[in-house]
Amino acid sequence: MNDDQLLRYSRHIMLDEIGIEGQERILAAHALIIGAGGLGSPAALYLGSAGIGTMTLVDHDTVDMTNLQRQIAHTTARIGTPKVESIRQAVHAINPEVQIRCIAEQATDALLDQLVPQATIVLDCTDNYRTRQLINAACVRHGVPLVEGAAIRLDGQLMVIDPRDPQSPCYACIFPPEAEFEEVQCSTMGVFAPLVGLIGTQQAAEALKLVTGFGQSSVGRLQMLDARSMDWSTMHTTRNSDCPVCKEKN
């Protein structure tokens, strides 16, 4: 690290759990963030400010007026701009050293198979059940840790999947891919603005813990936040030996 980096990241370096070695791991890491909205905004801003070396952003949408209530990386001046480009500008305003690749496309199997193997950590910041399943399957195939987040109305969820850990359940162990779920989206159900910030920030925290190797990750725990009371509840989860996605990893 140069002198500017030692100053910029000094508050991390002062932590025994991170120090210079941990900060160097952050600088060398590559975060793949899929979804550049309510969850992706705080996740990208915190990872960028923390010094993540490379960031790939994937989202096919553009900034809309209705996004600005909660998607804090976007601004009124950037309405109509691709969300990935808007987040790139927001992160670079904080930390211009981060290498950012913007992909204004929908996440598909083919795209994920190209991007996931390049990543140190993947953050699923989408709001679509089918896409979550595709991301989970790609991370299991390529052995890359995944931080899942979700938020709707006043309820949030957080889950960490680590295919490198033989005990880690994957997303499909808990939510079967063939299950019929009615898609619920903010456009029809609404969402409490700070809730997406809380979950997205938690995703960034879990990602940095995995990158640096300190603390205890949320592997094997589905964490749920009720914003009405601000109470977290935890459901301990186990690997499903019949899971169609990760059973070959057992």
CA gap 174, 238 in Å, rounded:
8
pLDDT: which is higher, 85 or 186: 85
Instruction: Look at residue 160 in the predicted model and tell me its pLDDT.
Output: 97
Instruction: Look at residue 182 in the predicted model and tell me its pLDDT.
Output: 60
Closest CA to 111 of 39, 44, 53, 32: 32
CATH of domain 9-249: 3.40.50.720
Note the pLDDT tens digit of each residue in 47-74: 999 999 999 999 999 999 999 999 999 9
Burial class of residue 54, CB neighbours in 10 A (0-12, 13-18, 19+):
middle
Q: Tell me if 157 sits within 8 A of 149, measured CB to CB.
A: yes
Instruction: Look at residue 185 in the predicted model and tell me its pLDDT.
Output: 60
Task: Please state, in angstroms and as integers, the Cα–Cα distance from residue 113 to each residue in 18, 63, 107, following that order.
Answer: 31, 27, 10
Tokens coding 123: 């953050």
Instruction: Look at residue 60 in the predicted model and tell me its pLDDT.
Output: 97
Note the pLDDT tens digit of each residue in 166-205: 999 999 999 988 876 665 565 567 899 999 999 999 999 9
Name the phi and psi angles at 229, rounded to 5.
-115, -10
Tokens coding 75: 């601004």
CA gap 171, 159 in Å, rounded:
8
Q: What is the pTM of this model?
A: 0.95
CA gap 23, 26 in Å, rounded:
5
What whole-number percentage of the chain has pLDDT above 90? Answer: 89
Residues carrying an active site annotation: 186
* Range of lowest pLDDT (9-23, 25-39, 107-121, 181-195): 181-195
What whole-number percentage of the chain has pLDDT above 70? Answer: 95
Q: Is the pLDDT of residue 229 over 90?
A: yes
Reported as a pLDDT band with limits 50, 70 and 90, residue 247 is confident
Tokens coding 213: 């190797």
Instruction: Look at residue 29 in the predicted model and tell me its pLDDT.
Output: 98
Instruction: Look at residue 222 in the predicted model and tell me its pLDDT.
Output: 96
Task: Please state, in angstroms and as integers, the Cα–Cα distance from residue 60 to each residue in 35, 187, 201, 239, following that order.
Answer: 9, 17, 22, 33
The structural domains of the chain, with segments of one domain joined by +, span 9-249
* Mean pLDDT score across all residues of the chain: 94
Mean pLDDT of the 226-230 span: 96
